[in-house]
Structure 1
Amino acid sequence: MRQRENMKSTLQKYVTIVFGVVLVAFAISVFYTPNKIVSGGVSGVSTIFYHMLGVQPGLSFAVINILLLALAWKFLGFVFVKDTILGAALLSLFVQLFSYLPPLTTDVFLASIFGAVFYGAGVGLALIEGASTGGTDILSRLVQKAFPHVKIGSILMLVDALVILLSLIVFKTINLALYGILALFVASFSINLLISKLNVSKLAFVVTDKGEEISKFLVSHSPRGVTIIESVGAYTMEKNEVLLCALKENELPRFQEEILRIDGKAFIIYSESTTIVGNGFRVFK
Structure 2
Amino acid sequence: MGTWLREYVGITLGAVITAVSLNMFLIPNKVAAGGVSGLATVLHYLLNLPVGMTMLALNIPLFFLSVRVLGTRFGVNTLFGAAILSVAIDFTAPFTPVLTRDLLLSSLYGGVLSGIGMGLVFRFKGTTAGTDLAAAIMNKLFGVSVGQALLAVDFFVITFAGIAFKSAELSLYALISLFVTTQIIDLVQEGPSSAKAFFIMTCRPQQVAEAVIEQMGRGVTFLHGRGAYTDEERDVVFCVVNTSEVTRLKELVYKIDTRAFVILTDAHEVLGEGFTQNNA
Same fold (TM over 0.5): yes
Match of 2:127 in 1: 132
Match of residue 221 from structure 1: none
Read off the aligned partner of 2:128 and give its amino acid letter.
T
**Structure 1 residues 158 and 274 mapped into 2: Cα distance closer, same or farther (>3 Å)?**
farther
SS of the residue 1:44 aligns to: helix
Classify the secondary structure of the residue corresponding to 1:99: helix
**Which of 188, 194, 210 in structure 1 is aligned with 2:188?**
194
Aligned 8 A contact 2:29 2:106 in 1: yes
Structure-1 separation of matches of 2:10 and 2:51: 23
Deviations 1:28-53 (A, max 9, x none): 11111111111111111111111111
- Residues 103-153 of structure 1: CA distance to partner in whole angstroms, max 9, x if unpaired? 12111211111001111222222223332112113234557889xxx887x
Distance 1:151 1:276, change over 3 A: farther
Indicate how the Cα distance of structure 1 residues 98 and 157 shifts in structure 2: closer, same or farther if over 3 A, else same.
Answer: farther
Aligned to 1:99: 93
CA distance in 2, matches of 1:166, 1:197: 34
Q: What is the RMSD computed on CA atoms of the aligned residues?
A: 4.0
Is 1:119 equivalent to 2:114 in the alignment? Answer: yes
Map 1:240-259 onto structure 2 (within 5 A).
Answer: none
Which amino acid is the alignment partner of residue 134 of structure 1?
A: A
2:57 paired with 1:51: no
Matched letter for residue 187 of structure 1:
T
**Structure 2 unmatched runs, 5+:** 198-208, 215-219, 223-237, 243-264, 272-276
The equivalent residue for 1:180 is: 174
Worse-superposed segment, 119-128 or 193-202: 193-202
Secondary structure of 2:101 counterpart: coil
Normalised TM-score (structure 2): 0.64
Name the counterpart of 2:162: 168
Q: Distance in 1 between matches of 2:139 and 2:185?
A: 15
Decide whether the 8 Å contact of 2:192 with 2:269 is kept in 1: no
- Structure 1 residue 178, shift from structure 2 partner: 1.1
Q: Does 1:20 find its partner at 2:26? A: no
Q: Distance in 2 between matches of 1:18 and 1:76?
A: 26
Cα deviation for residue 57 of structure 1 reads: 0.8
> Number of residues paired by the alignment?
221
Q: Distance in 1 between matches of 2:196 and 2:72?
A: 34
**For the Cα contact (< 8 Å) 2:7–2:125, is it kept in 1?**
no
CA distance in 1, matches of 2:72, 2:269: 28
The CA distance in 2 between the partners of 1:82 and 1:145, in whole Å, is 21
The 1:39–1:25 alpha-carbon spacing in structure 2 relative to 1, beyond 3 Å, is same
Partner residue, 1:35: 29
- Structure 1's unaligned 5+ residue stretches are 1-6, 209-225, 229-243, 250-270
State whether residues 88 and 133 of structure 1, in contact with CA within 8 Å, keep that contact through their aligned partners in structure 2: yes
